[in-house]
C-alpha cells in the first residue's frame, strides 16, 4: 500500500506555487519507495497550460529515476514527482496561450531539462509549445496515456529502420511498450516482423501482426535467427547490450538498418559494413506526438494495455512493471481516467 507523505508547500527554490493542493507520487531520495504525497500545484506562466491529468503509464525511464541511475545524465531536484506520460484535459491557460483552451483533451510526454515535476500527479503545468499535443480522437485517456514515451521511441526506431513493403525485421523486446508499438508501426509500413516473446505472449504478438515469435526465455535468439531467418533487412532492439547487437548485426547484409533504444549499436563500425544504425533518444516535440496521434487515429497502432492501477497504487504498478512487461502498465488518475 502506498504511504501518504506529509510533504507540503515550498518544495523547490525559485518555483511559485498556488494554494491549491494535489495528490502526486514522489521520491524524496533515490532508491526510496515511491510515496503518495500532497503537493502544491505550480503557478501558471503566460505560455503555460494547466492540465488536469486523467491517466499516465509506467516506462523504463521511471525505474531509472526511482533507482537513481538517471543521476549520471540528467539534472534533478529532489523531491522528484514520478511519471513522464500523460493524458488529460486543459483546465486553465496562461495569458499568451493561443493553441489551446479550457476543455481541450491533450496528451504528451513531460521531459524537461531538470527532473522535478512529473505526471503521476493530478495536475501538470506544461508550456503550450513543448511536450504536449491534442489527444488522438480514437483513444480514451487511459490508452492515450500509454502512448507518448514508448510510442515516440518506437517512431524514432522505425524511422531509422525505414522498412519497405515485405522487408523482414526482427523486433527484440516486442513484449514491452516500445517494442509493441514498433511492431505495429512496422506492420503499418507493410514489413514482415519476427518478434521476441514468451509463449504467454505469442497469441498477443501474432494478433499485433508478427509473422512469428522467438521465445527468448528458452532459445538463444542469435542462433535461432542464424538458423531460421535469413535475409533480415532490419533490427529494432530495446533490450540487448553491444555484444548481442553486434552478433545480430553480423547476420545482416550490407544495406540493412538497425535501431536500438539502449545505445548498443556501434554506429561507425556498422557504417563500415554498409549498415545504417542509430541509437535513439526519445524527445517530446509536439510534431512527434501529432504523428503518433495520426497513427492511432488511422488505426495503425493500438495501445497494448496489460494492467491498470489507480494513482494510490503506483508502487504496485512499478512492482508489476519490474516483474515483467506484457504491453503497457497504465495509471488511472482522475475519475474517468479509464476508457
Ligand X SMILES: NC(=O)c1ccc[n+]([C@@H]2O[C@H](COP(=O)([O-])OP(=O)(O)OC[C@H]3O[C@@H](n4cnc5c(N)ncnc54)[C@H](OP(=O)(O)O)[C@@H]3O)[C@@H](O)[C@H]2O)c1
Chain residues that interact with ligand X, rule: CB under 6 A: 59-61, 149-150, 153, 172-173, 175-179, 196, 216, 238-239, 261-262, 280-282, 324-325
CB of 37 to ligand X, least distance (A): 25
Beta bridge partner(s), residue 113: none
Residue with nearest beta carbon to ligand X:
176
Residue (22 or 288) nearer to ligand X, CB: 288
Site of grid cell 504525497:
37
Residue (140 or 197) nearer to ligand X, CB: 197
Residue (261 or 332) nearer to ligand X, CB: 261
At 101, is the secondary structure helix, strand, or coil?
A: coil
Residue (67 or 290) nearer to ligand X, CB: 67
CB of 313 to ligand X, least distance (A): 19
CB of 122 to ligand X, least distance (A): 24
Spatial CA neighbour of 197 closest among 43, 77, 306, 92? 306
CB of 282 to ligand X, least distance (A): 3
CB of 116 to ligand X, least distance (A): 19
Residue (79 or 177) nearer to ligand X, CB: 177
Half-sphere exposure of residue 187: CA atoms within 13 angstroms, side-chain side: 24
CB of 183 to ligand X, least distance (A): 11
Helix axes 60-67, 314-322, angle to 10 degrees: 110
Spatial CA neighbour of 170 closest among 152, 146, 197, 151? 197
At 288, is the secondary structure helix, strand, or coil?
A: helix
Distance separating alpha carbons of residues 335 and 183, to the nearest angstrom: 32
At 171, is the secondary structure helix, strand, or coil?
A: strand
Residue (110 or 216) nearer to ligand X, CB: 216
Q: How far is CA 169 from the centre of its chain?
A: 21
Distance separating alpha carbons of residues 241 and 234, to the nearest angstrom: 17
Amino acid at each position: 500500500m502506498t504511504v501518504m507523505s506529509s510533504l507540503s508547500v515550498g518544495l523547490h527554490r525559485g518555483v511559485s506555487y498556488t494554494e491549491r493542493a494535489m495528490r502526486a507520487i514522489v521520491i524524496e531520495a533515490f532508491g526510496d519507495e515511491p510515496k503518495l504525497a500532497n503537493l502544491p500545484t505550480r503557478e501558471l506562466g503566460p505560455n503555460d497550460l494547466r492540465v488536469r491529468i486523467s491517466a499516465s503509464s509506467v516506462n523504463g525511464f521511471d525505474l531509472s529515476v526511482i533507482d537513481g541511475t538517471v543521476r549520471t545524465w540528467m539534472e534533478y531536484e529532489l523531491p522528484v514527482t514520478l511519471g513522464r506520460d500523460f493524458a488529460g484535459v486543459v483546465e486553465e491557460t496562461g495569458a499568451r496561450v493561443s493553441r489551446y483552451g479550457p476543455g481541450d483533451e491533450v496528451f504528451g510526454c513531460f521531459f524537461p531539462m531538470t527532473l522535478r515535476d512529473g505526471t503521476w500527479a493530478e495536475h501538470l503545468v506544461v508550456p503550450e509549445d513543448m511536450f504536449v499535443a491534442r489527444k488522438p480522437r480514437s483513444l480514451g485517456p487511459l490508452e492515450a496515456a500509454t502512448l507518448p514515451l514508448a510510442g515516440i521511441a518506437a517512431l524514432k526506431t522505425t524511422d531509422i529502420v525505414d522498412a519497405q513493403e515485405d522487408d523482414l525485421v526482427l523486433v527484440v523486446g516486442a513484449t514491452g511498450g516500445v517494442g509493441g508499438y514498433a511492431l505495429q508501426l512496422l506492420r503499418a509500413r507493410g514489413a514482415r516482423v519476427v518478434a521476441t516473446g514468451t509463449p504467454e505472449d505469442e497469441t498477443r504478438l501474432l494478433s499485433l501482426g508478427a509473422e512469428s515469435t522467438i521465445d527468448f526465455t528458452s532459445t538463444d535468439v542469435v542462433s535461432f535467427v542464424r538458423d531460421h531467418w535469413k535475409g533480415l533487412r532490419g533490427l529494432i532492439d530495446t533490450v540487448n547490450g553491444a555484444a548481442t547487437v553486434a552478433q545480430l548485426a553480423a547476420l545482416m547484409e550490407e544495406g540493412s538498418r538497425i535501431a536500438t533504444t539502449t545505445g548498443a549499436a556501434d554506429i561507425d563500425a556498422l557504417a563500415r559494413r554498409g549498415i545504417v544504425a542509430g541509437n535513439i533518444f526519445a524527445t517530446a516535440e509536439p510534431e512527434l506526438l501529432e504523428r503518433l496521434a495520426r497513427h492511432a487515429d488511422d488505426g495503425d497502432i493500438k495501445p497494448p494495455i496489460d494492467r491498470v492501477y489507480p494513482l494510490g497504487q503506483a508502487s504496485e504498478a512499478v512492482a508489476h512493471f519490474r516483474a515483467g512487461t506484457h504491453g503497457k502498465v497504465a495509471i488511472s488518475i482522475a475519475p474517468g481516467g479509464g476508457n
